[in-house]
Amino acid sequence: MKADALRGHLDPMILAVVEQEPLHGYAIMEALLERSGGELDLPTGTLYPALRRLERAGYLASEWSTVGGRKRRTYQLTSAGQKMLAAGRGDWETFRTVIEGVLKPRTT
């Protein structure tokens, strides 16, 4: 899967994995890997800046904790983030329809 393809689709995916329960960065990476069937193996240089961006935008809120001697920054969805996620799911449907409408082979 080409790297560029992700552009603009990563944000809603991150929001989706923290929808049910707050998770820290590393756990988000693992969740994405697991939910994507091993396809979505994000480098840390992609994920961490994305999380900070989403927090700065008000879609996530974070909190530090220490578990087993390791520091974790745990992110949870804000109410703005919930709205954004819902919007993102809608956008995806539109996007998918557009792409498939164009990509579909025409025998005509």
Footprint of a second copy (CB under 8 A): 1-9, 12-13, 16-17, 19-20, 32, 35-37, 39-40, 88-89, 91-92, 94-106, 108
Please select the residue that binds DNA; options are 37, 43, 101, 105, rule is CB under 7 A: 43
The span from the CA of 53 to the CA of 62, in Å, is 12
Contacts of 1 (CB under 8 A, 6+ apart): 39
Residue closer to DNA (CB basis): 71 or 107:
71
Asked whether 27 and 97 are in contact (CB, 8 A), the reply is no
The span from the CA of 75 to the CA of 53, in Å, is 12
Q: What backbone torsions phi and psi does residue 56 show, to the nearest 5 degrees?
A: -60, -35
Residue closer to a second copy (CB basis): 13 or 51:
13
Minimum CB–partner distance for residue 106 and DNA (Å): 20
Q: What is the binding site for DNA (CB under 7 A)?
A: 3-4, 6-11, 24-27, 42-46, 48-53, 67-74
